[in-house]
Amino acid sequence: MPHILPPTRSCRLMLAGLSLTMGLPAALPAQSGAAEGIRALGAETRAGRPLPLHIGGRVVATDGYRRQWPGTYIEGAFRGPSVDLGVGPGAVSLRIRVDGGAPMPLVRPAPGLYRIAARGAGPHRIRVDVASESQAGWTVLRGLFAPTGTTPLPAPAPRARQIEFIGDSHTVGYGNTSPTRQCSQDAIWRTTDTTLGLPGIAARHYDADYQVNAISGRGIVRNYGGFAAPTLPDAYPYALFDGRTPATTPGWNPQVVVIALGTNDFSTPLKPGERWADRDALHADYERRYVDFVGRLRRHYPRAFFVLWATDLADGEIKREVGKVVDRLRAGGERRIAFVPVDGLGFTGCDAHPDTDDDRRIAAAIERAIDARPDIWTRR
């Protein structure tokens, strides 16, 4: 069974610049796919007192919390029978948990307030996770609010452990819950669930706060099929995909940084007009830029442990190249680093991406590398 399938409709749309892989087509209307326990409130309802929040991921505090990188989450606490969630513009798929219960989906909600029911008077904790990818534009979480009869409580404390995930669609969880590889653009969007992908699995395993700084289709020096857009290292410094808004996250100092980049650099052949004369030139550029990128991260996170992982796609080319990057980093004196090759995945998600079983296997491999260094969590 081949691991790389011919470009599907979603890839062709991405390459044509009509939709950057995960952007929701504008023709699709806003909907409120709300689970039982979630009720849309009328436009006349005014927001109550805001709950203090613990926020995970990169956000820009304006008209609520503007966000675009995957994996954003907000957490709050309250006493009372319900709490209100404010949602702003932008297509988003949310997973809402009260007191650690089963996730309740809120898919493509229209802007407004949504009342979330709780059992009993409390106290209660609530967590709202973004499951979808938002390449086409930012979305807004306005916050959590206390209606009449509910009292805001202090925000949950930040967790002692922090993990940052950097990568492409394999980190995002692109189409990982799909029952088939053949997916429409809307199906890709709906079946992408970062909470069930590598970041969500590993963060729950370690009870860690996390950031997911990943974009489907992007590489270290080359994007999928050579399409023009900022590569991941170029987009990384910014809070939004605008190349203007710097990312600032006070208190963010992860003990572990997990990186997977290279699938998009190497999974398609070079085309006429690309800047590399041949594959060897592409390899050399990739290795140099990846080493530079990790060096930049090391200066920012001087005590972090880096895990670079790769699959055996593209006849092992990606895995070999990432291995060379790790060798070069070690030769340059880097010691707090591990290379984790992951082989034999099923790739039954959309467009032959990892499915949720694959995500669990990837997470287990990375967890073994982390657990082999028990000092990781004691160093900041």
pLDDT at 76 over 50: yes
Q: What is the pLDDT of residue 215?
A: 98
Distance CA 168, CA 173 (A): 9
| Average pLDDT, integer, range 49-59 | 98
User: Among 295, 62, 306, 54, which Cα is nearest to 164's?
Assistant: 306
Residues of the chain above pLDDT 90, percent: 87
Kindly report, residue by residue over 224-259, the tens digit of the pLDDT.
999 999 999 999 999 999 999 999 999 999 999 999
Kindly report, residue by residue over 290-333, the tens digit of the pLDDT.
999 999 999 999 999 999 999 999 899 999 999 999 999 999 99
Q: What is the pLDDT of residue 8?
A: 34
Stated pTM of the model: 0.92
Count of H helices and E strands in the chain?
A: 9, 19
| Average pLDDT, integer, range 51-55 | 98
Binned at pLDDT 50, 70 and 90, residue 33 comes out as low
* Helical axes 317-331 vs 279-300, angle rounded to 10°: 50
Binned at pLDDT 50, 70 and 90, residue 379 comes out as low
Contact between 375 and 29 under an 8 Å Cβ cutoff? The reply is no
What DSSP state is assigned to residue 99? Answer: T
User: Of 336 and 10, which is predicted with more confidence?
Assistant: 336
Catalytic residue among 82, 93, 169, 216: 169
Q: What is the pLDDT of residue 231?
A: 98
310 to each of 87, 259, 326, 341, 366, how far by Cα in Å?
Answer: 36, 9, 11, 5, 11
| Average pLDDT, integer, range 200-228 | 98
Kindly report, residue by residue over 127-171, the tens digit of the pLDDT.
999 999 999 999 999 999 999 999 999 999 999 999 999 999 999
Q: What is the pLDDT of residue 15?
A: 34
Q: What is the pLDDT of residue 188?
A: 97
- Cite the DSSP H helix spans in 184-303: 185-191, 198-206, 232-235, 263-266, 279-300
Q: What is the pLDDT of residue 30?
A: 45
Q: What is the pLDDT of residue 35?
A: 67
Distance CA 95, CA 359 (A): 18
C-alpha dihedral over 294, 295, 299, 301, to 10 degrees?
Answer: 20
User: Of 285 and 12, which is predicted with more confidence?
Assistant: 285
**pLDDT, the chain, mean:** 91
Q: What is the pLDDT of residue 380?
A: 56
pLDDT at 11 over 50: no
Q: What is the pLDDT of residue 34?
A: 65
Distance of CA 128 to the CA centre of its chain: 14
Domains defined for the chain, CATH in brackets: 37-153 (2.60.120.260), 159-378 (3.40.50.1110)
Binned at pLDDT 50, 70 and 90, residue 86 comes out as very high
| Average pLDDT, integer, range 112-136 | 96
pLDDT at 44 over 80: yes
Catalytic site includes residue 82: no
